[in-house]
Chains A and B, each alone.
Chain A
Amino acid sequence: MDNGAANPIIVCENVKKWFGDFQALRGVTTSVAEGEVVVVIGPSGSGKSTFIRCINRLEQHQEGRIVVAGIELTSDVRNIERIRSEVGMVFQQFNLFPHLTVMQNITLAQVWVRKRSRSDAEERAMALLERVGIPEQAAKYPGQLSGGQQQRVAIARSLAMDPQIMLFDEPTSALDPEMIKEVLEVMQELAGTGMTIVAVTHEMGFAREVANRIVLFDEGQIVEEGPPSEFFANPRHPRTKMFLSQILSH
């Protein structure tokens, strides 16, 4: 599985990105295999969020190539739309639509992007709500749910589009400790089904148990990557050792 050479579904070659004068990505090269679970870690400002936001074009990279599910990300609008429909994304702040019920949140894009009938979409939504464990909340509004429940709805909303890849951008960072567990359980179950996952997270327990590979970002570059057993047991790079000592010391 190392470096996902088997059957790459995401390929990044020398990806660079600037915000004004600040270079957020300084040439990122990696690939992710189908069914692989990659956890991206790193200090804040290291470019890890920018990196996964480039994968579905929420940020536009300026140099290098990104190929997702065989489609290259260019300024071709059709390519962007096709990639976005293959890639689901879960955000730190949930970003549910507050004016729609949980059910409407999950069916909206199914109906308008996937062109499903409303009843098919609702059936799919209900099945996903069962899967994330909150079928009884379907008629409520996001504002009436707890953070953990909202994040599970957000996961169901992404899964409803039947994506090949799921991106998680710090999905548990805005949650209380007891809610983190319920979200991680859903993510773990998802990884078990063979979904390709790229997750930015600080949950080292999740990284250790679920990830196939851990990628450490610093200053816009990949410093070290490898399977969790190796990564945690004998890190090679001094930057990795320092980062691990900081996050594992408490």
Chain B
Amino acid sequence: MANRPSLASPTRPPLWRNATFLKWAAQIGVLFGVLALGSVLVGEAMANMRAQGLALDWDLLTDPPGIQLGEGIFIKPSTGLEAFYTGAVNMLRVALSGIVAATVVGVIVGIARLSSNWLASRLASVFVESFRNIPVLVQVVFWFFFASTFFPVLEEDSSGPIPGVLLVSRKGVSFAWPFPQETFWQWGAFLVAGLLTARWAYRTRMRRAEELGEDTRPGTWALLAFLAWAVVGWFAHPLAGAIGWLFMLLAASVGAIPVLAYQVILALISLYLGWRWINRFLDSRRSPAGLAKLTDDDYFRMILAGALGAGGAAVLMLLPAATEVGTNVVQYLLEFCDQKFEFLRSGAPLAIGTPSVDVPGRFPQIASTGLTMTPSFFGIWMGVTLYTASFIAEIVRGGILSVPKGQSEAGYALGLRRGQLLRMVILPQAFRVILPPLGNQYLNLSKNTSLGIAVAFPEMVQVGQTMFNQTGDTIQVILIWMAFYLSISLLISVLINYYNRRTQLVER
């Protein structure tokens, strides 16, 4: 009895030992520390640049760069912005097609490596071990030289291994491709309508299947609905040109409303988002038993959310220019869409271009009629795709092995076939293990496209380097690079995280 500590009136600890106070002080301290460090660094850099006579201006974006690019939208860009735009689009071409190809190859090789077919699993092992153990730069250079040395020389009468479909030569690989024409968007409106109808048809047939208890073929119905719109649209698309008027009207009304109105609306939205975040946060801490005890971290996060909302509103109100840029962009996009539609404009929405040879001067060139991979594109694309595919194969293999053996036994015991088992039991479970490292591989592939500089492929880094060789604006170019790669990487991360959250298992 005498030894029991007294429960009454606990003594208040002094401030420097108070855990609550220390936590808050640390949070605020870190926040100000980061802000201070950032401003010191930026300030120092600016001062040093001024001292060296370097000005951080952005003239390079508007001046004629006087450079020529190997391939892309603007081969002779008239402004720096056009040059960077060309580089960015080239980079995205490699990155997106590379991500798709690496995923397909990687999944096939990964599954093959686990196959009970001895030859398939051996070949898959050789693939993985070869491509992941050679530096990606070497592979990129190898494929570039492979294409420009071992492919046949382009002659005036070359027509490639499959005439009219595929033309392989040292000047590049060209294949037949349906190119969108100026009426493509009008047809596209029908395709969008087709997709929506297909979705509706699928759902209705599914509901009907549940009512009737028979197979109502929802997939077939959805496909037919889509094809019907596509076929009708192919001929009726000139009528859809009328949508252009809608865009015109919208563009005009966006410009007609004063900027102040947008500012007020956006500021209110910013305040609302902060308020909603706090509300939802409180909801998530609320159970039928009442509100859970909030920790100091919780308070800090709520205050930060509120401050961000209020700060956003303040910035929007104080800087009309920011809103103006936004409305200008929206207006530009609407006007851009308007140009894509014209009432009664006719013509086939797609035209198939076939590979052919052109002789502009003394030497034959691949004509721009087909879709062409230059040796540079081939080099960087093959290099990053196969390199990444070998890693993806290992990730897929690991993911499949992570599913317990009991799962396949249970599936087999129920009479599922191997393919059904893989598709409906193993892969969905492997997927959630595969997804996070797969996202890393996508990020790696995107960033590895910068090795295009080694084979003179005009992607972001090659363009940027050419630019600062001309202008000397190194810092600006590096800032553009960082902003570009950071936004692409963040975009991929956000997408992967979104799917990751959706595929999480539900546990108790």
CA distance A154 to B413 in the complex (A): 12
Closest to B507 in A: A143
Q: Interface digits, B495-508 against A, CB 8 Å rule (1 contact, 0 not)?
A: 00000000001111
How many residues on B have C-beta within 8 angstroms of the other chain's C-beta atoms?
A: 29
- Knowing A81-B415, A143-B508, the reply to whether A91 touches B406 (Cβ < 8 A) is yes
29 contacts across the A-B interface (CB closer than 8 A): A58-B413, A81-B415, A81-B417, A84-B412, A84-B414, A87-B413, A88-B414, A93-B406, A96-B410, A97-B410, A97-B425, A97-B429, A98-B429, A99-B429, A108-B416, A108-B424, A109-B415, A109-B416, A113-B416, A119-B209, A119-B210, A119-B212, A119-B213, A120-B213, A141-B505, A141-B506, A143-B508, A144-B507, A161-B415
B215, chain A: closest CB distance, angstroms: 6
- Could you tell me the distance between the alpha carbons of A118 and B216 in the complex, rounded to whole angstroms? 11
Instruction: Annotate A58-90 by CB proximity to B: 1 below 8 A, 0 otherwise.
Output: 100000000000000000000001001101110
In the complex, what residues of A have CB within 8 A of residue B157's CB? none
Q: Does A188 contact B (CB under 8 A)?
A: no
- Is B428 in contact with chain A by the CB < 8 A criterion? yes
A122 to B508, CA, bound (A): 24
Quick check: is A112 within 8 A (CB to CB) of the other chain?
yes
Interface residues on A, range: 20 to 34
Contact of A95 among B409, B507, B508 (CB under 8 A): B409
Decide yes or no whether A158 CB sits under 8 A from chain B. yes
B407 contacts across to A, CB distance below 8 A? 95, 97
Contact status B414-A98, CB under 8 Å: no
Q: Supply 11 further A-B pairs (C-beta < 8 A) apart from A95-B410, A98-B429.
A: A58-B413, A88-B414, A95-B409, A97-B411, A99-B432, A109-B411, A117-B209, A117-B213, A119-B211, A157-B414, A158-B414
Interface residues of A in 140-157 (CB under 8 A from B): 140-141, 143-144, 154, 157
The reply on A56 being an interface residue by CB < 8 A is yes
Which residues of B lie under 8 Å from residue A122 when comparing CB positions? Answer: 210
* Residue of B412, B420, B428 with most partner-chain A CB within 10 A: B412
Cα separation A87 to B415 with both chains bound (whole Å): 9
Name the CB-closest residue of B to A57: B412
Q: Find A117's partner among B214, B404, B420, B428 (CB 8 Å cutoff).
A: B214
On whether the beta carbons of B414 and A99 are closer than 8 Å, the reply is no
Q: Known: A84-B414, A112-B416. Is A91-B409 also a contact (CB below 8 A)?
A: yes
C-alpha spacing A112/B420, complex, angstroms: 8
Specify the chain A residue showing the minimal Cβ separation from B429.
A99
The prevalent SS among residues of B at the interface is helix
Residues 405-461 (chain B) with a chain A CB within 8 angstroms:
406-407, 409-417, 420, 424-425, 428-429, 432
* Bound Cα distance from A85 to B212, whole angstroms: 26
Q: Which residue of A lies closest to B409 (CB)?
A: A58
Q: Which residues of A contact B414 (CB under 8 A)?
A: 84, 88, 108-109, 113, 157-158, 161
Please name all residues of chain B whose beta carbon is closer than 8 Å to the beta carbon of A96 when the two chains form the complex. 410
Q: Do the beta carbons of A113 and B429 come within 8 Å of each other?
A: no
Q: In whole angstroms, how far apart are the Cα atoms of A56 and B210 in the complex?
A: 33
* Cβ-defined contact, B412 with A143, below 8 A: no
Residues of chain B within 8 A (CB-CB) of A85 are: 415
A108 contact set on B, CB distance < 8 A: 414, 416, 424-425
Residues of B within 8 A of A56 (CB): 412-413
Point out the residues of chain B lying under 8 angstroms from A157, CB to CB: 414
Q: Cα distance A108–B413 when bound, in Å? A: 13
Q: Which of A84, A89, A109, A118 is B210 in contact with, Cβ under 8 Å?
A: A118
What does the 1/0 interface line of A195-238 toward B look like (CB < 8 Å)? Answer: 00000000000000000000000000000000000000000000
User: Which chain B residue has the least Cβ–Cβ distance from A59?
Assistant: B409
Given A117-B214, A117-B215, A144-B507, check contact A99 B415 (CB 8 Å): no
A85 to B407, CA, bound (A): 17
Report the Cα distance A161→B410, complex, angstroms.
Answer: 13
The docked-state distance in angstroms from the alpha carbon of A177 to that of B406 is 23
Chain A residues within 8 Å of B404, by CB? 93, 95
Quote the shortest CB–CB distance from B87 to chain A (angstroms). Answer: 42
A97-B407, A112-B420 known; A89 and B413 CB under 8 Å?
yes
A97 surroundings in chain B (CB, below 8 A): 407, 410-411, 425, 429
Q: A108 CA to B425 CA in the complex, in Å?
A: 10
B212 contact set on A, CB distance < 8 A: 117, 119
Complex interface residues of chain B between 346 and 405 (CB less than 8 A to chain A): 404
The 9 A-B pairs with the shortest beta carbon distances in the complex, nearest first, are A95-B410, A109-B414, A95-B406, A119-B213, A89-B413, A141-B506, A143-B507, A85-B415, A113-B415
Residues of A within 8 A of B432 (CB): 99
Measured CB to CB, the closest approach of chain B to A34, in angstroms, equals: 20
Given known contacts A96-B410, A161-B415, A143 and B211 CB-to-CB distance under 8 angstroms: no
Known contacts A117-B214, A119-B213; A99 and B505 CB within 8 A of each other: yes
Interface string of B453-482 (1 = CB under 8 A from A): 000000000000000000000000000000
Say whether B412 contacts A98, CB under 8 Å. Answer: no
Chain A residues within 8 Å of B417, by CB: 81
* 8 Å CB contact of B209 from A93, A118, A158: A118
* Residues of the B chain whose Cβ atoms lie less than 8 Å from the Cβ of A120: 213
**Residues from chain B with Cβ under 8 Å of A87 in the complex:** 413
A75 to B508, CA, bound (A): 42
Contact pick for B424, options A57, A88, A98, A112, CB 8 Å: A112
Q: Is the CB of A143 within 8 A of B213?
A: no
Write the nearest CB–CB distance from B428 to chain A, whole angstroms. Answer: 5
Q: Which residues of B contact A158 (CB under 8 A)?
A: 413-414
Which single residue of chain B is at the shortest CB-CB distance from A108?
B424
For residue A95, which residues in chain B have a CB less than 8 angstroms away from its CB?
404, 406-407, 409-410
CB distance from B197 to the nearest CB of A (A): 23
Q: Which residues of B contact A57 (CB under 8 A)?
A: 412
Distance in Å from the Cβ of A50 to the closest Cβ of chain B? 13
Complex contacts, A81 vs chain B, CB 8 Å = 415, 417
What is the bound-complex CA distance between A120 and B209, given in angstroms? Answer: 10
Instruction: State A108–B421 Cα separation when bound (angstroms).
Output: 10
A81, A99, A141, A143 pick with most chain B CB within 10 angstroms: A99
Closest B residue to A121 by CB, please name it.
B213
Alpha-carbon separation in the docked complex, A96 to B412 (Å): 13
Once the chains bind, are B209 and A99 in contact (CB under 8 Å)? no
Name B207-247 residues within 8 Å CB distance of A: 209-215
Task: Please give, as numbers and ranges, the residues of chain B lying within 8 Å of A88 by CB-CB distance.
Answer: 413-414
* B210 cross-chain contacts in A, Cβ below 8 A: 118-119, 122
